[in-house]
Structure 1
Amino acid sequence: MTAFKAYDIRGRIPDELNEDIAYRIGRAYAEFLKPQKVVVGRDVRLTSEALCRSLVAGLTDGGSDVFDIGLCGTEEIYFATFSEKMDGGIMVTASHNPMDYNGMKLVREGSKPISGDSGLDVIKELTARNDFVPSHRKGKVTGLDIKDKYIRHLLGYSDLRNLSPLKVVVNAGNGCAGPVIDLLEAHLPFEFIKIHHRPDGSFPNGIPNPLLPENRDATIKAIRENGADAGIAWDGDFDRCFLFDEEGDFIEGYYIVGLLASAALRRNPGAKIIHDPRLIWNTIDLVLKGGGTPIQSKTGHAFIKERMRQEDAVYGGEMSAHHYFRDFAYCDSGMIPWLLVLEILSKSGKNLSELVKERIMRFPASGEINRRLRDPLSAIRKIEETFKPDALAVDFTDGLSMEFPDWRFNLRCSNTEPVLRLNVEARGDEGLMKTKAGDLLKLIDGFS
């Protein structure tokens, strides 16, 4: 059962995840949640269709009626679950993981996430036991088309009258974003330059993971060759989108969080904004200036969504390019953010580089730096001991955060592998940020 992680299911095919395990997950989900109606969908991976069939068989044998929306992005499962008042939803996807991986993301009614502390551990135990209570009925399978309703919902986040005829490069990475762009295109004034657009589970242009610098070259080249105003790239199930400015420069997700938080506060004065602990100063500064309330949450979609519901926050953002919206059942979307950013561009008359340049200079950040260690916790303890005498504040919301007069850092363990993740930022001093990041990495590398 090693495919069961903290927030979802992800594993290598076939030893960690296969059709037998997928069937048992369907039975376990049905037995745990006892849902009458479950929506399912799948990404474009070559193993997804067979896994989805087995999952559906398990759900129907467990007595649940299944509504199949077919090839889709994860957020379409979220949308179908809350808009069609389903009792739950399951997306078969491995997002940006390697070719030989697949997985599942599970939600319950209202698109509330099912993670380790809200039922996923129970589903894991039932799946492993493989001894299910016989169901008194066999569920039915029905095809469901939510595309038109979903597209109308997405378009509701922007005032279409504000949009300018921008030229935009879109790179779906041969994942599932392409068909949605095609449906949106008819309603928008943008000229889309489409690359790696057709869904193709063999991923002829590489795994769709724009966080890898080597995967950005095609987007950058297309922006520069076509004189585009911006570029957008997605991961395989498009629950994250990544933005590039008119020069082809990649924009760290941290600064997009600040941009969207400010926009949310203009529409919702005094609202609450949720952010993760890794990089915070730019977000806090913009939220306070916008008259809102910044609230820190532990990293991870399940934690962010739970805190957003508790606070009735209008928007939540993580530097990893996950963006959450109250009107989207507090879920993350990879389509809503770029629609909002292009509306900001249209209304401001500024280039995207101009919108973020000042914020990058004011709060320069390292971006996430990863190191694989045998004992990450020992490294964290040593760094806490080393830097604590000079720290103004120490926080353990998620890993170790330490704050000093002009710089701060967050150091946390990966939830899925023996990796330490470091983020460093400074107040208006890029050199200081780089120096401190170097100091920390020397200590960390001593443990490798």
Structure 2
Amino acid sequence: MKSTLDLSSFKNNDIRGIIGEQINEHLAFLLGKAFGEHVLFASAETSLDSLAQVVIGRDNRETSLSLQKAITKGLNESGISVIDLGMTGTEEIYFATRHLRAIGGVQITASHNPINYNGMKLVGIDASPISKGNGLDQIKQRIEVLDQELNSGLPISRVQPSYSCRTASILAPYVEHLLSYITPSKLSPMKIVVNAGNGVAGHVIDDLEKRFNELNVPITFIKVHHSPDGKFPNGIPNPLIKENQIATRDAVLAHSADLGIAWDGDFDRCFFFDEQGNYIEGYYIVGLLTEAFLLKESNATVLHDMRMTWNTIEVANKLGGNAVGVKAGHALIKEKMRELNAVYGGEMSAHHYFRDFGYCDSGMIPWLLVVELISKTQQSLHQLISSSTNKFPSSGESNREVVNPEQVMGRVLSRYRESAVDIDHTDGISINMGEWRFNLRKSNTEPLIRLNVETRQDRTLLSQKVEELLQLIK
């Protein structure tokens, strides 16, 4: 019987879709072959002394292991040796690709998507991003050809005995790398609520806890939903959902903790709660991390997305750094960071990128830096951000479904063009009106308009302008 193939799971930066309909072992096998061919060709064009091996890991979703086996078979048949890292977070694949000098890496994950989803994230040599326009389209096209060959009965290459799959662990060197961003001996006594959301962050926290104990670091972890469970009995690990924030907030208050941290399923994003249990918008964390790096490396360049910017720019200017606005999206930010040798890049969506982490994003490095900043300043997390939240109150992101996003953006631009102080088109439209500004941008994957607004010390004006813009969009 002819196998069905639905490639609508290919997005801008990864592959994700509904299990069975879009994501299945047939696609995974073909992806393994096509990706293997792609990274072999790419590695042949470089002068790097990399081995013909790919690292692969998976989250704890119930279909992830079978998908990993299918991808491994495809990689082997393309002439690739595979290093199986077992259950990992996405950033462990980034680290392992570089640490083991592999020519590519694959993480099987659906991160924060619903339980009936799964997917894959791909990287090339040095954990360089593979995305739409940067290899992912070619891999998709090759999959279509391979599928036609498979279903037509044409001969295709079979597994070669010399190409293998071996297991390995990079947890120890990965954790040592994480600790290199801070000075553990200078951390103050602290209680930290950590909520893995029954995803895969728990094993890293456990190893960090072990290392802290060995180093006599006075950090106590209060663990919530810590064990991996692919049935997600406490809800999908998506801390942006308000209902999912309750467990972390309640644990912070119940234990009088100094802060709370929650992760999405593959822990490449982390979300913060202060000692009062308040959820902190990712925008203000970008400002904190900008401060953390510029205190260590003055005159450095940091990148930020264009959705909300004033706080990050002020922090960078105050500390002698250079803040550069860029379009949101991991491939674009990583590329720009390499170009400018930026030490850090941050998105308000809780993606944080680090030069010394191969310009990749991490959900573990941010909280370590924040804990170190709390220790250095002897201020609570609430105190650290209160100045920024008061100076630059922000709306958070409002999403509205529209029929014609371009038409809506044109209407909004016409409304404010003449009275604007500045208009920027780096990512959608960013309009500075003096005492307030906003960014309006299209979703890359859905018929949505995304709105973010901030003001200068005026929450009443913030509410008014959010309502004004939402009415104009509608």
| TM-score class normalised by the smaller sequence | over 0.9
Q: How far did residue 373 of structure 1 move?
A: 2.0
| Selected match of 1:134 from 157, 160, 167 | 157
Residues 1:72 and 2:88 are matched in the alignment: yes
Alpha carbons of structure 1 residues 119 and 362: separation in structure 2 relative to 1, 3 Å: same
- Secondary structure of the residue that 2:289 maps to in structure 1? helix
- Post-superposition CA distance 1:208-239 (Å, at most 9, x none): 00011111001111111111110000000000
| Selected match of 1:181 from 194, 198, 205 | 205
Correspondence for 1:261: 290
Letter in 2 for 1:61: E
Deviates more, 1:335-344 or 1:381-390: 381-390
- Secondary structure of the residue that 1:205 maps to in structure 2? coil
Correspondence for 1:423: 452
* Kept after mapping to 2: 8 A contact 1:394/1:402: yes
Q: State the distance in 1 between where 2:64 and 2:110 align.
A: 9
Consecutive unaligned residues in structure 2, runs of 5 or more: 1-6, 44-51, 151-155, 213-217
Q: How far did residue 137 of structure 1 move?
A: 4.0
- Secondary structure of the residue that 2:407 maps to in structure 1? helix
Q: State the distance in 1 between where 2:66 and 2:159 align.
A: 26
Task: Note the 1:46-57 alignment, pairs <5 A.
Answer: 46-57=62-73
- Post-superposition CA distance 1:76-122 (Å, at most 9, x none): 00000011111110100010001111111100010000011110000
* Kept after mapping to 1: 8 A contact 2:77/2:159: no
Number of residue pairs matched by the alignment: 445
Q: State the distance in 1 between where 2:84 and 2:449 align.
A: 39
Correspondence for 2:398: 369
Q: State the distance in 1 between where 2:225 and 2:387 align.
A: 32
- Identical pairs, percent: 51
- Secondary structure of the residue that 1:187 maps to in structure 2? helix
| Selected match of 1:25 from 31, 36, 49 | 31
Deviates more, 1:123-132 or 1:420-429: 123-132
TM-score (norm 1): 0.97
* Kept after mapping to 2: 8 A contact 1:63/1:135: no
Q: State the distance in 1 between where 2:99 and 2:211 align.
A: 21
Q: State the distance in 1 between where 2:411 and 2:117 align.
A: 35
Deviates more, 1:193-202 or 1:391-400: 391-400
Letter in 1 for 2:190: L
* Kept after mapping to 2: 8 A contact 1:60/1:140: yes
Letter in 2 for 1:51: L
Q: State the distance in 2 between where 1:192 and 1:376 align.
A: 45
Correspondence for 1:101: 117
RMSD of the alignment, in Å?
A: 1.2
Task: Note the 1:380-391 alignment, pairs <5 A.
Answer: 380-391=409-420
Letter in 2 for 1:420: I
TM-score (norm 2): 0.92
* Kept after mapping to 2: 8 A contact 1:8/1:104: yes
Q: State the distance in 2 between where 1:228 and 1:287 align.
A: 30
* Kept after mapping to 2: 8 A contact 1:88/1:109: yes
Q: How far did residue 136 of structure 1 move?
A: 8.7
- Secondary structure of the residue that 2:356 maps to in structure 1? helix
Q: How far did residue 396 of structure 1 move?
A: 1.4
Correspondence for 2:12: 6
- Secondary structure of the residue that 2:122 maps to in structure 1? strand
Q: How far did residue 135 of structure 1 move?
A: 6.9
Q: State the distance in 2 between where 1:9 and 1:300 align.
A: 15
